[in-house]
Structure 1
Amino acid sequence: KLLIFSPTPNISPRQSPSTVYGAVMNINRGNPVGHEVIVDSWPDFKAVLTRPQREVLALGDFAGYIFNIYAAFYRDLDVYRKLLLDTDAINWDQTFALCGSRLLFLREELRDEETRFNPGFTFSSLNSSHIDLLDETWHFGGSEHSRRYLANMVQCFPSTCILDSNGHPISWIIMESLGTLRHGYTLPSHRRRGYSSMVQRAQARRVHAAGFPVYGLVALDNTPQQKLLVSLGFQRLSELCHYCIHSPAYQ
């Protein structure tokens, strides 16, 4: 279970499927990771599911729940349940993660603050030379799957980082396939200097300028990150985002 935060401006309060919306936005902008959309009916749909294209998963390099992630939104629980259980929308023989939520966007602008760097520090984007560092500092890193996942995210989606005077990242964040702000991290030796808030604010403005919804998912026990997002002008949304990981090997 993850808390959902959003500063998204110019959106009236209403139920909104932001994980699905983020995935659809990426599909409509070149579909860099090969996702597709499934609905119960068209055009009057009551349940929506986004998933990796079957031919992408068939390549083998993108197996496991890190890559095989679904996003779901529904207005009718029975219709949603039928879509999952009575169709081939989900391959239950594979390991996957299902991200589902019903959200309430609250309008609020990001707060503006002056950016002050140490001499020689600059804003930049992550690149392939940074994958080792990202993998070493990620809680779920340390495998070939995690390295491929991070390399794919860095290659396909916007990222923001702060480089020190030697050109090494000291704080960063990435947008991933569902449009969320993820993988925020600051090296321990550079914490408590405001760098995390700088990269998150810069990234939020960047993805919003590109037309994406701006929101992040935060673990229930990650109080420091929750406080940081609130200080930046993010609004905690009313419901939780649930990640369900299905592994047929453990059934």
Structure 2
Amino acid sequence: MLVLNCSIKLLTLEKMLKSHFPESLKAETDNLDHYTNAYAVFYKDFRAYQQLLEEHDVINWDQVFQIQGLQNEVCDVSNAVANSKQLGVKLTSFKAVQFSPHSALPDTNALKGSSPRLTYLNTADADLLNRTWSRGGNEQCLRYIVKLISCFPSVCVRDDKGNPVSWSLTDQFATMCHGYTLPEHRRKGYSQLVALTLARKLRSQGFPCQGNVLDDNTASISLLKNVRAEFLPCRFHRLILTPAAFSG
């Protein structure tokens, strides 16, 4: 096997592969889909991160996308580069949490019958999740949720008609997200059961058990404290960047 070490030859090979890649295998992209157009950031030197943003062909600045990370400079550096490129930036900051491996599951005897039932989500549930998610309610989010359900672990409680009443799923960065219980089914312990069951499932498959919560989401913060989740000293930051062509 020939090993290429020359940067010029590597670039030439990359261009050849791109030009001959089968159209049927190319993923469709949506320039408005910031759910899928997403980048997770970690760096040892924020200057290296800034240089990476300023490099050509690293990020597609012509589409709406998100950047997320746990380091404070993510916000300042991303904002500075985005402003230089005339992109709008929407920042949301969360408490970062990690589930304890020692949290015990609540009593599940009541869920061993046919109803209610502890199980997992399927793609037929995506419309309900899209309608109930504060970040959802649009076509891009619906497609995104379908992908998450299809590819990553999830947990839900279903009622006697088989409909999900409480759930949580995992995103592409192995973060637990969209934990939700329908209002008429709250105060039954479902949220705690779903969160801990999903955390245990993730841990058994080698994933971290992490999540994030808004500062004003007092119900979720109370639940996390009850299950002895660890609130990390860092913050979770999500920036949604929008080119001028899509703002308005």
Within the candidate set 136, 142, 145, 2:137 is matched to 142
The aligned runs of 1:9-48 (5 Å cut-off) are none
Q: What's the counterpart of residue 224 of structure 1? A: 219
Q: 1:182 to 1:140 in 2, by over 3 A?
A: same
**1:58 and 1:128 mapped to 2: Cα distance?**
20
* Contact 1:126 1:159 (8 Å CA) reproduced: yes
Q: What's the counterpart of residue 128 of structure 2? A: 133
**2:158 and 2:55 mapped to 1: Cα distance?**
50
Q: What's the counterpart of residue 114 of structure 1? A: 107
SS in 2 for 1:145: helix
Q: What's the counterpart of residue 41 of structure 2? A: 72
Shift, 1:57, TM fit: 8.5
Within the candidate set 228, 232, 246, 1:237 is matched to 232
Q: 1:237 to 1:57 in 2, by over 3 A?
A: farther
Deviations 1:101-144 (A, max 9, x none): 14999794342132353662111111122112111211232221
* Contact 1:141 1:147 (8 Å CA) reproduced: yes
Q: What's the counterpart of residue 160 of structure 2? A: 165
- Tell me which structure has the larger Cα radius of gyration: 2
Q: What's the counterpart of residue 124 of structure 1? A: 119
Shift, 1:214, TM fit: 0.5
Select the structure that is richer in helix.
2
Letter in 1 for 2:167: W
Q: 1:83 to 1:90 in 2, by over 3 A?
A: same
TM-score by length of 1: 0.72
More off after superposition, 97-106 vs 186-195: 97-106
* Contact 1:69 1:96 (8 Å CA) reproduced: yes
Deviations 1:164-190 (A, max 9, x none): 122111100001101000011101001
Deviations 1:227-250 (A, max 9, x none): 211211210000111111110124
SS in 1 for 2:110: coil
Letter in 2 for 1:94: Q
Flag structure 2 segments of 5+ consecutive residues without an equivalent. Answer: 1-22, 73-95
Flag structure 1 segments of 5+ consecutive residues without an equivalent. Answer: 1-54
* Contact 1:160 1:203 (8 Å CA) reproduced: yes
Shift, 1:59, TM fit: 1.3
1:179 matches 2:174: yes
* Contact 1:72 1:98 (8 Å CA) reproduced: yes
TM-score by length of 2: 0.72
Q: What's the counterpart of residue 99 of structure 1? A: 68
Aligned length: 197
Q: 1:108 to 1:131 in 2, by over 3 A?
A: closer
* Contact 2:99 2:199 (8 Å CA) reproduced: no
Shift, 1:85, TM fit: 1.2
Q: What's the counterpart of residue 35 of structure 1? A: none
**1:62 and 1:110 mapped to 2: Cα distance?**
42
Q: 1:156 to 1:58 in 2, by over 3 A?
A: closer
Q: 1:229 to 1:162 in 2, by over 3 A?
A: same
* Contact 2:43 2:49 (8 Å CA) reproduced: yes
* Contact 1:110 1:234 (8 Å CA) reproduced: no
**2:26 and 2:222 mapped to 1: Cα distance?**
38
Q: 1:168 to 1:91 in 2, by over 3 A?
A: same
